[in-house]
Amino acid sequence: MAKVLTTCIYCGCGCGLYLISDRMKLIGAYPSQNHPVSKGCLCVKGWNSYEFVNNLQRLKKPLIKKNGKLQTVTWDKAIDRVARKFKEINKKHGPDALGFLSSAKTTNEENYLAMKLARAVFKTNNVDHCARLCHASTVAGLTAAFGSGAMTNSIEEFENAEVILVTGSDTTEQHPLIGSRIINAIDKGTTLIVIDPRKIELAKHAAIYAQPRFGADVAWINGMMNVIISEGLDAKEYIRERTEGYEELKELVKDYSLEYVEKIAGIPKDKLIDAARIYARAKKAMIVYTMGITQHTTGVDNVKSLANLAMLTGHVGFESTGVNPLRGQNNVQGACDVGALPDVYSGYQPVTNASIRKKFESAWGVKNLPDKAGLTVTEIIKSAGEGKIRGLYIIGENPVLSDPDSNQVRACLEKIEFLVVQDIFLSETAEYADVVLPAASYAEKDGTFTNTERRVQRIRKVINPPGQARADWQIICEVAERCGYKGMNYSRPSEIMDEIASVTPMYAGISYDRLEPFGLQWPCSTKEHPGTKFLHKDRFSKGKGTFSPRPYIPPNELPDEEYNFILSTGRTYWHWHTGTMTRRTSTLDREVPTAYVEIHPNDAQGLGIKKDDMLRVSSRRGRIELKARITEKSQEGSVFIPFHFKEAAANVLTNPAIDPIAKIPEYKVCAVKIEKL
């Protein structure tokens, strides 16, 4: 029996836990007492994070599709096929006919290698990962405003905030160990403001809860700023010293009168005034947001508006004071940090910058790194359907369930000439693959994850992978080597981290020996740097903070007579994304075994719907059938469907319309109709 300290695989909280193994099987998981996030606690997913690893359905051997069927082959054959086909497509159609989807579930080292494979070996910037579907708006919006897209504060700082404003985040469900801190903070005197279209659990704990209409965020944020400015509550000195663009903001928000905001967003005037005053007057105020803000065609506008609000009140750059986009995936922060993005190398260094390219060319021993930004996740899938992307390498992602408009995604994947899927289970996406490569789970390899508070921390190998499965980093290196590239020889992941540190200023001080026991928070610029608890102290990362006033633009698809409900999608507490792990975890699967749609009691009554009735929900793109769950959590006129379930995949319905800058799809608003079956 061994107990190994590692980091949880689920959300961005990044709890420290011990995995317990017995005879090469995982038999349990429990929290680390000393870990700064978990502190002896875990959420239900953390407590049950061991079970799926043992599942007998794990992929154990490489597979190649022959006559339409996936058949077992040797590693040698599988790698050979991948290398040969990718080289062939590269030669025939050029590097940009290839695409790479990396994964926020794999390690920093593996994401770095994935982008290195794309860029150094195949000379394409077509590499991206699911951050595109969650916080692309944050990266674009906060980088423009502050110079960094990361959460500005640390998790431990929540308990000392005077005011916490939660919006577009179901924190207790999605970041339980942050949600719980918010609840505990209230006991110690923190005032909680929740502004969310869904009446989330935290709303019950809030001093002020306002329920805006879906997609009206820019409107109410502008309205709040209008109140703040007109009541003289703006932080004039801070604005003068640390920001630029205030006058334009002031000009824009003037139009957002209380009446106008109430009309658009449905927030009563008094509530908006109260919220604005409480937030503005607090010394230490933290904003918390997630997908409710980002997953819109106006995602970047929403983020910029929150940044405006925080800067207007001087609420960035201090302890327990800032803007905190909570990262969903365990390593979505890290996957972005190490450059699994089409426009930047590790450390957000732009591919368009010649001297940066030169640095990477010399580090990697290659020439002519591509100088134009590549395609994003959504664009890669679309291009595959158009025949432009011919070879696609997907690591640990499941776009068939996770991307909007599933039927379209399936059609695109059908068209790809050559698809490689590297995963721990045969996912819905893997069924379209020409080659399937069996990967090791988080318990079967070494590496690092970066959590939502920028904490780079270790995961550790507890047991061997099943059958012939291998760690993602090993597989990527083998593919690179088989393609004739000599620059990917590592005997262990720590060597990859050393390379990351050597080319990435914000990770420069990071090495495995310094990550004991609970990691370091970037920026960490030198081997002596202690890490950074909160960002933008004294000055913004980019110098002066920039106000970017944004006008309200309605969502891309709103209800009409036929499709008369708003659909919003997201996760439940019990499941993770496409369910490949949680639906193979008995407790979690038992709690929520089937897909459901949340509907407000008044709407249910109007349609004669009772609990557990089967409903058909249709959009212009498809339809699914699932059980009704009647709850006041849903706003009247709207329904909510979690996207975990393949048998009633929410993303069959969602709208692929994207934010023009971040290219993030509008998962949070589309129009559907409901029929009782």
The β-bridge relationship of strands 63-66 and 69-72 is: antiparallel
- Please tell me whether residue 41 binds another protein under the rule CB under 8 A: yes
CA distance 276 to 297: 25
Q: How many helices (H) does the chain have, and how many strands (E)?
A: 24, 30
Part of the chain binding another protein (CB under 8 A), chosen from 200-208, 281-289, 482-490, 549-557: 200-208
For 160-198, the three-class secondary structure string (H helix, E strand, C coil) is HCCEEEEECCCHHHHCHHHHHHHHHHHHCCCEEEEECCC
- Considering only 12, 95, 168, 176, the residue that binds another protein (CB under 8 A) is 176
Taking the complex as a whole, how short is the minimal distance between the CB of residue 46 and another protein, in angstroms? 8
- Please tell me whether residue 161 binds another protein under the rule CB under 8 A: no
Part of the chain binding another protein (CB under 8 A), chosen from 24-32, 236-244, 380-388, 526-534: 24-32
- Nearer to another protein by C-beta: 178 or 639? 178
- Nearer to another protein by C-beta: 464 or 586? 586
Tokens of 541: 């990362």
Taking the complex as a whole, how short is the minimal distance between the CB of residue 220 and another protein, in angstroms? 26
Taking the complex as a whole, how short is the minimal distance between the CB of residue 328 and another protein, in angstroms? 17
The β-bridge relationship of strands 163-167 and 391-395 is: unpaired
- Considering only 9, 11, 29, 139, the residue that binds another protein (CB under 8 A) is 29
- Considering only 72, 180, 525, 631, the residue that binds another protein (CB under 8 A) is 180
- Please tell me whether residue 26 binds another protein under the rule CB under 8 A: yes
Taking the complex as a whole, how short is the minimal distance between the CB of residue 590 and another protein, in angstroms? 4
Closest CA to 356 of 369, 338, 373, 341: 369
- Nearer to another protein by C-beta: 12 or 141? 12
The DSSP line for 343-412 is SEEGGGEETT-HHHHHHHHHHHT-S----S----HHHHHHHHHTTS--EEEEES--HHHHSSSHHHHHHH
- Nearer to another protein by C-beta: 258 or 426? 426
Taking the complex as a whole, how short is the minimal distance between the CB of residue 45 and another protein, in angstroms? 9
- Please tell me whether residue 591 binds another protein under the rule CB under 8 A: yes
- Considering only 9, 11, 14, 51, the residue that binds another protein (CB under 8 A) is 51
CA distance 282 to 163: 6
| Burial call 444-453: b when 16+ CB within 10 Å, e when fewer | bbbbbbbbbb
CA distance 676 to 623: 13
Q: Identify the burial level of 4 via C-beta atoms within 10 angstroms of its C-beta, where 0-12 means exposed, 13-18 middle and 19 or more buried.
A: middle
- Evaluate whether 72 touches 62 at the Cβ level (below 8 Å): yes
Tokens of 506: 């914000």
Binding-residue total with another protein (CB under 8 A): 53
- Please tell me whether residue 32 binds another protein under the rule CB under 8 A: yes
CA distance 438 to 561: 48
CA distance 106 to 86: 22
- Considering only 8, 9, 11, 42, the residue that binds another protein (CB under 8 A) is 42
CA distance 581 to 587: 12
Look-up of token digits 């065609």: 297
- Please tell me whether residue 1 binds another protein under the rule CB under 8 A: yes
CA distance 519 to 455: 6
Taking the complex as a whole, how short is the minimal distance between the CB of residue 9 and another protein, in angstroms? 16
- Nearer to another protein by C-beta: 216 or 456? 456
Residues 427-446 within binding reach of another protein (CB under 8 A): none
- Considering only 590, 608, 647, 677, the residue that binds another protein (CB under 8 A) is 590
Part of the chain binding another protein (CB under 8 A), chosen from 16-24, 234-242, 383-391, 557-565: 16-24
- Please tell me whether residue 5 binds another protein under the rule CB under 8 A: yes
- Considering only 75, 93, 160, 183, the residue that binds another protein (CB under 8 A) is 183
Taking the complex as a whole, how short is the minimal distance between the CB of residue 531 and another protein, in angstroms? 17
- Nearer to another protein by C-beta: 16 or 141? 16
DSSP 8-state assignment for residue 321:
B
Taking the complex as a whole, how short is the minimal distance between the CB of residue 601 and another protein, in angstroms? 16
CA distance 152 to 327: 12
Question: CB 587: neighbour CB atoms within 10 A?
Answer: 13
- Please tell me whether residue 40 binds another protein under the rule CB under 8 A: yes
- Considering only 8, 10, 14, 16, the residue that binds another protein (CB under 8 A) is 16
Amino acid at 390: R
- Please tell me whether residue 187 binds another protein under the rule CB under 8 A: yes
Taking the complex as a whole, how short is the minimal distance between the CB of residue 421 and another protein, in angstroms? 19
The β-bridge relationship of strands 191-195 and 163-167 is: parallel
Taking the complex as a whole, how short is the minimal distance between the CB of residue 588 and another protein, in angstroms? 9
- Considering only 24, 57, 254, 527, the residue that binds another protein (CB under 8 A) is 57
- Please tell me whether residue 31 binds another protein under the rule CB under 8 A: yes
Part of the chain binding another protein (CB under 8 A), chosen from 180-188, 222-230, 387-395, 439-447: 180-188
Residues 597-616 within binding reach of another protein (CB under 8 A): 611-612
Residues 569-588 within binding reach of another protein (CB under 8 A): 573, 586-587
- Evaluate whether 306 touches 293 at the Cβ level (below 8 Å): yes
Taking the complex as a whole, how short is the minimal distance between the CB of residue 36 and another protein, in angstroms? 11
- Please tell me whether residue 172 binds another protein under the rule CB under 8 A: yes
Residues 486-525 within binding reach of another protein (CB under 8 A): 517-518
The side-by-side arrangement of strands in the sheet containing 163-167 is 208-210, 191-195, 163-167, 285-289, 322-325
Taking the complex as a whole, how short is the minimal distance between the CB of residue 200 and another protein, in angstroms? 12
- Evaluate whether 527 touches 514 at the Cβ level (below 8 Å): yes
Tokens of 296: 């819109």
Q: How many residues are recorded in the chain?
A: 677
- Please tell me whether residue 206 binds another protein under the rule CB under 8 A: no
Part of the chain binding another protein (CB under 8 A), chosen from 2-10, 95-103, 528-536, 643-651: 2-10
- Evaluate whether 364 touches 120 at the Cβ level (below 8 Å): yes
- Considering only 8, 10, 14, 18, the residue that binds another protein (CB under 8 A) is 18
Part of the chain binding another protein (CB under 8 A), chosen from 173-181, 239-247, 544-552, 647-655: 173-181
DSSP 8-state assignment for residue 138:
H
The β-bridge relationship of strands 565-570 and 670-676 is: antiparallel
Q: Is the peptide bond before 31 cis (omega within 30 degrees of 0)?
A: no
Contact positions vs another protein (CB under 8 A): 1, 3-5, 16, 18, 20, 22, 26-35, 40-44, 46-47, 50-51, 54-57, 172, 176-177, 179-181, 183-184, 187, 201, 204-205, 517-518, 573, 586-587, 590-591, 593, 611-612
